[in-house]
């Protein structure tokens, strides 16, 4: 490991039974020996609380710790994450094991930080339907609403006689006749409660770890695009966030990825979609509000359904550099050696299962050398931000309009357009200070309360460029429509209102004008009445023909715009470049397919995920690589993206 240039070793994330093979009997020797070996070779250790895998003896002693499915079936021992976040018994046991491992290593010089648990929520374990969760949910609601009358009013329980007489009457949302139609406000609060439960459980870890050694850094390895946990909330108790960067996995799972039976889909399964991966980097940079880690970086073939192709040559290196360019300070690979037993034998590693170097190892070694040659850089920070709001995501999923409306995919429509122009995009939560951004996009920001509306309007009033997109501010914070048309409390700033919406099938005509040109859109259409706003785009197909689709309003020193459709790439480019121009943000020509420019602290990574070489020309120094960037290769230039010209036909 040391010879490969590895600096940190993360380990013991599932080792509870080896640490405590029977109740109360601990065995740390093997782990201390490993830590010692690592430390002696100049590397540092990141340990993990082993709570993701309670041993069988623990499950048998406390059967109540098991999660339950919606219909009440307990989730049994035999994989991992078979515990409920709200189980008092499991919280006690967690405290016990965390204190034991933390105190044992509190003074160990080689242990520098901790990962809490592992991939919270994996295997659909954010939501549980056990009795402990039911009690906890009732308390959570009582805490939030105070009186049942307030809850009934806030949710709108008069509908279908759904009013409650007390908090004790409120069940978890189990099977009900209209399976896909639970009360949306009830589901939203249940989603909030479930995410809060994870945050609370994570806090249990961080408090104990900080008590043991306040010097340690604390992180957690989130999963890409993971929908059910608010990563901003959980990270408030951490020093920074990490995510497990498997480009083949997140790309195959993204609804906007072409089918793998197409040539394009097959290629992406080998290289990953740079914007699917990149937006995750941007998300966890935003979650961390600064540099982040890639705790598990794909280092070979992985069991990513439905297909598990080998990565193209060079991708392990390219993914590592892409992460660094986006603000990742530590690229940690999963894993050193392929495991020879258990569930993850089909999950590649730097070394093959016989211990021999696998394809990724020389690439990782090269990365280590190249990173050593680069200066220490501050994390990137963009002039443009996109708001991320998990509650809006949950709101869509708890009241599905059309199965094709994917929250992340909608964000990506704008993210892709900006990235194709080399622009750095920050993904930030709604409560972040926004004043420094030149332009701010609020894509499908569905739930907006008065306070947020005021801040957003204020942002524009103070000279900011605010762009709202489809379905933004349609609902109040309880997931209800208002008694005024959307965008409700933002309507004055926008100078327009949304009067209609519809979801559309791929067989429909979906065209709108924008700036005099005609463009395609997909999936969703709204049309507006423009009271004060200027109509900059009008529907040119369907029922909405002639109606405003895109509007722009002067709001004091800035602008507020609204895009009432889900734009296809050409329209997204036109809209975002206009936004950049209004905001006076510099940008370059549209980049070739799969080529991206990513700036970090004055250095720009030119990454080529495609198979064909490109040529770059710039007056600035190329500090890594050269002017010809081969397929799956990269260069680093000391210049801003818009100062670099990219030519595909070499």
Which residues are within 8 A (CB) of 587 and not within 5 positions of it... i.e. 6 or more apart? 418, 421, 422, 423, 577, 580, 641, 642
Q: How far is the CB of 641 from its own copies (least distance, A)?
A: 30
Question: Is residue 24 at the binding interface for its own copies, with CB under 8 A as the rule?
Answer: no
Catalytic residue among 13, 119, 391, 399: 119
CA distance 316 to 269: 14
**By rule CB under 8 A, what string of x and - marks binding of each residue 136-155 to its own copies?**
-------------------x
Q: How far is CA 473 from the centre of its chain?
A: 21
Report the residue number, 148 or 580, with the smaller CB distance to its own copies: 148
Contact indicator for 214, 429 with CB cutoff of 8 Å: no
Contact indicator for 474, 481 with CB cutoff of 8 Å: yes
58-61 contacts, C-beta under 8 A, 24 or more apart: 58/16, 58/23, 58/93, 61/23
Question: Is residue 499 at the binding interface for its own copies, with CB under 8 A as the rule?
Answer: yes
Binders of its own copies among residues 374 to 433 (CB under 8 A) are: 399, 401-404
119 is catalytic: yes
State the pairing for strand pair 242-245/292-298.
parallel
Catalytic residue among 93, 296, 438, 547: 296
For residues 305-332, b (16+ Cβ closer than 10 Å) or e, as one string? Answer: eeebbebbebbbbbbbbbbbbbbbbbbb
- Per CB under 8 A, the segment of 221-229, 285-293, 300-308, 558-566 that binds its own copies is 300-308
Q: How far is the CB of 354 from its own copies (least distance, A)?
A: 5
- Per CB under 8 A, the segment of 195-203, 297-305, 325-333, 372-380 that binds its own copies is 297-305
Find the binder of its own copies among 95, 182, 582, 642 (CB under 8 A). Answer: 182
Rg of the Cα atoms in the chain? 25
143 is catalytic: no
DSSP conformation letters of 513-533: EETTEEEEEEEEEEEEEESSS
Find the binder of its own copies among 8, 34, 80, 145 (CB under 8 A). Answer: 80
Question: Is residue 28 at the binding interface for its own copies, with CB under 8 A as the rule?
Answer: no
Question: Is residue 100 at the binding interface for its own copies, with CB under 8 A as the rule?
Answer: no
Choose among 249, 290, 261, 491: nearest CA to 379.
Answer: 290
- Per CB under 8 A, the segment of 375-383, 417-425, 439-447, 477-485 that binds its own copies is 477-485
Q: How far is the CB of 52 from its own copies (least distance, A)?
A: 8
Helix boundaries (H) for 340-446: 360-373, 390-397, 407-419
Report the residue number, 352 or 586, with the smaller CB distance to its own copies: 352
- Per CB under 8 A, the segment of 108-116, 335-343, 361-369, 406-414 that binds its own copies is 335-343
- Per CB under 8 A, the segment of 139-147, 417-425, 480-488, 601-609 that binds its own copies is 480-488
State the pairing for strand pair 517-530/511-514.
antiparallel
Question: Is residue 568 at the binding interface for its own copies, with CB under 8 A as the rule?
Answer: no
Question: Is residue 181 at the binding interface for its own copies, with CB under 8 A as the rule?
Answer: yes
Find the binder of its own copies among 5, 8, 11, 18 (CB under 8 A). Answer: 18
Report the residue number, 501 or 638, with the smaller CB distance to its own copies: 501
Q: Cα-flanking dihedrals φ and ψ of residue 370, to 5°?
A: -65, -40
Find the binder of its own copies among 9, 48, 82, 438 (CB under 8 A). Answer: 82
Question: Is residue 570 at the binding interface for its own copies, with CB under 8 A as the rule?
Answer: no
State the pairing for strand pair 292-298/384-388.
unpaired
CA distance 284 to 277: 11
Report the residue number, 32 or 404, with the smaller CB distance to its own copies: 404
Binders of its own copies among residues 350 to 379 (CB under 8 A) are: 352-356, 359
Question: Is residue 157 at the binding interface for its own copies, with CB under 8 A as the rule?
Answer: yes
Binders of its own copies among residues 59 to 78 (CB under 8 A) are: 60, 67, 69, 71-78
Binders of its own copies among residues 250 to 269 (CB under 8 A) are: 259-266, 269
* Helical pair 263-271 and 315-325, crossing angle rounded to 10 deg: 70
Q: How far is CA 535 from CA 111, 261, 467, 545, in A?
A: 59, 41, 14, 14
Binders of its own copies among residues 120 to 139 (CB under 8 A) are: 122-125
Find the binder of its own copies among 104, 203, 432, 482 (CB under 8 A). Answer: 482
Q: How far apart are the first and last CA of the chain?
A: 39
Which residues are within 8 A (CB) of 12 and not within 5 positions of it... i.e. 6 or more apart? 19, 31, 47, 48, 50, 101
Q: How far is the CB of 206 from its own copies (least distance, A)?
A: 22
Q: How far is CA 215 from the centre of its chain?
A: 28
Greatest Cα pair distance in the chain: 75
Q: How far is the CB of 5 from its own copies (least distance, A)?
A: 23
Q: How far is the CB of 270 from its own copies (least distance, A)?
A: 7
Q: How far is the CB of 525 from its own copies (least distance, A)?
A: 8
With contacts defined by CB under 8 A, how many residues of the chain interact with its own copies?
120
Question: Is residue 306 at the binding interface for its own copies, with CB under 8 A as the rule?
Answer: yes
CA distance 291 to 173: 38
Please identify every residue annotated as catalytic.
119, 296
């Amino acid at each position: 490991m040391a010879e490969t240039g590895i600096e940190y070793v993360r380990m013991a994330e599932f080792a509870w039974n080896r640490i405590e093979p029977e109740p109360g009997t601990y065995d740390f020797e093997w782990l201390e020996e490993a830590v010692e070996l690592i430390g002696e070779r100049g590397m540092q250790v990141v340990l993990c609380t082993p709570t993701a895998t309670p041993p069988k003896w623990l499950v048998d002693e406390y059967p109540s710790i098991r999660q339950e499915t919606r219909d009440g079936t307990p989730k049994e021992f035999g994989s991992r994450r078979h515990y409920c976040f709200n189980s008092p018994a499991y919280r006690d046991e967690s405290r016990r094991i965390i204190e034991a491992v933390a105190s044992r290593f509190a003074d160990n010089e080689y242990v520098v930080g901790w990962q809490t648990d592992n991939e919270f929520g994996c295997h659909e374990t954010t939501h549980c339907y056990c009795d402990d969760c039911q009690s906890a949910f009732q308390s959570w609601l009582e805490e939030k609403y105070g009186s049942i009358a307030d809850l009934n009013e806030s949710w709108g329980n008069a509908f279908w006689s759904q009013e409650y007489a007390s908090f004790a009457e409120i069940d978890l949302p189990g099977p009900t006749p209209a399976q896909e139609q639970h009360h949306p406000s009830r589901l939203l609060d249940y989603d909030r409660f479930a995410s809060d439960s994870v945050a609370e459980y994570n806090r249990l870890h961080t408090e104990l770890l900080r008590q043991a050694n306040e010097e340690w850094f604390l992180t957690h390895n989130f999963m890409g695009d993971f929908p059910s946990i608010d990563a901003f909330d959980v990270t408030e108790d951490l020093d920074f966030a990490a995510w497990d960067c498997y480009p083949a996995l997140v790309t195959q799972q993204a609804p906007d990825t072409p089918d793998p039976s197409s040539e394009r889909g097959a290629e992406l399964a080998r290289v990953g979609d740079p914007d699917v991966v990149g937006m995750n980097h941007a998300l966890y940079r935003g979650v961390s509000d600064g540099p982040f880690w890639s705790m598990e970086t794909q280092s070979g073939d992985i069991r990513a359904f439905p297909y598990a192709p080998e990565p193209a040559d060079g991708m392990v290196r390219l993914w590592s550099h892409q992460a660094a360019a986006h603000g990742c300070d530590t690229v940690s690979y999963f894993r050193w050696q392929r495991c020879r037993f258990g569930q993850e034998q089909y999950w590649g590693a730097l070394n093959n299962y016989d211990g021999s170097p696998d394809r990724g190892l020389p690439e990782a070694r090269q990365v280590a050398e190249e990173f050593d040659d680069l200066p220490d850089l501050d994390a990137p920070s963009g002039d443009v931000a996109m708001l991320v709001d998990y509650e809006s995501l949950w709101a869509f999923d708890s009241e599905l309009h059309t199965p094709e409306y994917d929250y992340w995919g909608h964000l990506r429509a704008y993210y892709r357009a900006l990235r194709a122009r080399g622009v750095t995009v920050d993904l930030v939560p709604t409560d972040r200070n926004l004043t420094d951004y030149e332009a701010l996009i609020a894509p499908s920001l569905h739930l907006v309360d008065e306070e947020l509306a005021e801040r957003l309007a204020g942002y524009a009033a103070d000279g900011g460029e605010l762009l709202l997109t489809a379905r933004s501010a349609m609902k109040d914070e309880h997931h209800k429509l208002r008694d005024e048309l959307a965008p409700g409390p933002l309507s004055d700033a926008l100078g327009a209102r949304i009067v209609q919406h519809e979801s559309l099938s791929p067989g429909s005509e979906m065209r709108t004008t924008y700036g005099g040109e005609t463009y395609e859109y997909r999936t969703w259409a709204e049309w507006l009445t423009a009271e004060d706003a200027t109509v900059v785009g009008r529907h040119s197909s369907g029922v909405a023909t002639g109606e405003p689709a895109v509007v722009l309003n002067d709001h004091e020193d800035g602008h507020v715009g609204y895009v009432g459709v889900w734009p296809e790439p050409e329209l997204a480019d036109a809209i975002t470049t206009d936004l950049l121009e209004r905001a006076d943000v510099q940008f370059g020509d549209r980049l070739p397919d799969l080529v991206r420019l990513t700036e970090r602290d004055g250095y720009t990574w030119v990454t080529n995920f495609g198979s064909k070489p490109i040529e770059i020309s710039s007056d600035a120094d190329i500090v890594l690589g050269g002017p010809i960037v081969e397929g799956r290769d990269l260069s680093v230039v000391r210049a801003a993206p818009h100062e670099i010209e990219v030519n595909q036909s070499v």
